[in-house]
Amino acid sequence: MQKRLHYLQDKLVMAIEIEQPSAHVGLSKVAVSDTHGEDSPYFAGWKAYDENPYDELSNPSGVIQMGLAENQVSFDLLEEYLEKHAEASSWGKGVSGFRENALFQDYHGLQSFRKAMASFMEQIRGGRAKFDSERVVLTAGATAANELLTFILADPGDALLVPTPYYPGFDRDLRWRTGVKIVPIHCHSSNNFQITPQALEAAYNDAEAMNIKVRGVLITNPSNPLGATIQRSTLEEILDFVTRKNIHLVSDEIYSGSVFSSSEFISVAEVLEARQYKDSERVHIVYSLSKDLGLPGFRVGTIYSYNDKVVTTARRMSSFTLISSQTQHLLASMLSDKKFTENYIKTNRERLRKRYEMIIEGLRSSGIECLKGNAGLFCWMNLSPLLQNQTREGELALWNPMLHEVKLNISPGSSCHCSEPGWFRVCFANMSEQTLQVALKRIQNFMEQIRERDGNLVISSQ
């Protein structure tokens, strides 16, 4: 059966929708699957926000967006830079540089930009690791970088091991078009959700039991949603594990510049350097400017691989997802200014730390504890004492009123595949301090209501 469509002058209008046995006749399996993940509660909260967004003046009772890991605390530094540096905006050689820039589609990327990225990555790691600009591959965002790497490291049906809880977008980025599976490495609050060698082995065995070939481990360091860095000893254990199994390690270090104290972040790059790069050809780092610089719209991602073949192949594949030359030019300029980047990194860190302390203190005074964090744009909040049922349903029964009554969009741990119910990721850097205070007040009121209503801090499912 076919749909009949009536054409108006301007628009295509669906006149009569005729029920079809298979609405998606003729599309690919990828197109009709729901592996894009948008039906998860993670996205439902966003929709609620979109429909009723908080605004200090025009909509003070709207939903406050705390589900978006954006960094808005340091824009003034970027704007100030632009105001002082005309060359970033004027295409380099006055407007005549426009032509050269507009034509530049070399998948190696602007050399000046690659160099600036490599140098920025070094600065973030306090100079404790070196990055060769020839190994920097550019992609349009970390979303593209993670998918691209998966295409290169695994075949359809194979798996990557990913520690839980993890960023919900991985379900789409690593699996959707690649056909690759995610097998979780279960982490628990009993040891602050750290990755243990036992958990790694268990995940590997889980995959084997399902007849699935494991091609690599993908970690996020600092972690999303935990907001904490991975310890050196854990990194060593993970490296030993992947070497033993002869598989890959992808370290998504997208929040590396958002660590509150520089000395607390250990990059896998440092561990490799200490090992004189032995067995390093299995290691690949993903980075982006979306979090540290707060520029998600610019689509700037990178893959840094210690494997020559991966660099070559990734570079070829990046043709599908190159960074706009206009944006490369702007950022090359900005990131090569070492004085600017040093000040930015330091100031940004400090502001995030302050923000973090503010939210932790506010939550604590409401009787809520969080996982001890030291990085990121969010905290990992423990509401498990409030659950009537220590189940996913119990967690969602708490999340629902949070969203629709308290009007805070926070992300339930189940959407991050956390094995323990009751944890929530709460973002704090995508709003003004005033808005954060409003959010904290709402939480405080909510907690008081619960105490009054139930007396023993339990949320009943409705």
Catalytic residues: 167, 252, 254, 291
* 137 contact partners, CB below 8 Å, separation of at least 6: 109, 302, 303, 304, 305, 311, 314, 315, 318
Q: Which is nearer to another protein, 258 or 382 (CB)?
A: 258
Q: Which is nearer to another protein, 87 or 454 (CB)?
A: 87
Distance CA 206, CA 199 (A): 10
Q: Taking CB under 8 A as the rule, does residue 141 contact another protein?
A: yes
Q: Identify which of 271, 260, 199 has the alpha carbon closest to the alpha carbon of residue 231.
A: 271
Q: Identify which of 439, 458, 140 has the alpha carbon closest to the alpha carbon of residue 299.
A: 140
Figure out which of the listed residues 115, 125, 215, 417 binds another protein, where binding follows CB under 8 A: 215
Looking at 21-29, 53-61, 122-130, 262-270, which segment touches another protein (CB under 8 A)?
21-29
Closest distance to another protein from the beta carbon of 297 (Å): 3
Binding to another protein (CB under 8 A): which residues in 51-70? 70
Closest distance to another protein from the beta carbon of 59 (Å): 18
Pattern 293-332, another protein, x by CB under 8 A: -xxxxxx-------xxxxxxx-xxx-xxxxxxxxx--x--
Closest distance to another protein from the beta carbon of 415 (Å): 17
The pair of three-digit structure tokens given for residue 453, joined into one six-digit string: 């209503």
The pair of three-digit structure tokens given for residue 452, joined into one six-digit string: 């009054």
Distance CA 405, CA 300 (A): 37
Binding to another protein (CB under 8 A): which residues in 171-190? 172, 176-177
Figure out which of the listed residues 53, 62, 77, 78 binds another protein, where binding follows CB under 8 A: 78
Binding to another protein (CB under 8 A): which residues in 101-140? 101-108, 132, 134-135, 140
Pattern 236-265, another protein, x by CB under 8 A: ----------xxx-----------------
Q: Which is nearer to another protein, 305 or 384 (CB)?
A: 305
Looking at 24-32, 204-212, 219-227, 338-346, which segment touches another protein (CB under 8 A)?
24-32
Pattern 85-104, another protein, x by CB under 8 A: ---xxx----xx-xxxxxxx
Closest distance to another protein from the beta carbon of 221 (Å): 20
Q: Which is nearer to another protein, 177 or 349 (CB)?
A: 177
Closest distance to another protein from the beta carbon of 141 (Å): 7
Binding to another protein (CB under 8 A): which residues in 416-435? none
Asked whether the beta carbons of 236 and 201 are under 8 A apart, the reply is no
Distance CA 108, CA 136 (A): 9
DSSP 219: E
Closest distance to another protein from the beta carbon of 189 (Å): 31
Distance CA 9, CA 324 (A): 35
Q: Which is nearer to another protein, 10 or 452 (CB)?
A: 10
Binding to another protein (CB under 8 A): which residues in 270-289? 281-282
Distance CA 452, CA 445 (A): 11
Q: Which is nearer to another protein, 125 or 315 (CB)?
A: 315
Residue whose structure tokens are 């695994």: 154
Ramachandran assignment for 288, one of left (phi > 0), alpha (psi -120 to 50 degrees), beta (any other): beta
Q: Identify which of 194, 198, 256 has the alpha carbon closest to the alpha carbon of residue 230.
A: 194
Q: Phi first, then psi: give them for residue 411, nearest 5 degrees.
A: -100, 120
Beta bridge partners of 284: 250, 305
Closest distance to another protein from the beta carbon of 60 (Å): 21
Cα torsion at 401, 404, 408, 414 (round to 10°)?
60
Distance CA 371, CA 293 (A): 25
Strands 159-163 and 181-185 come out as parallel
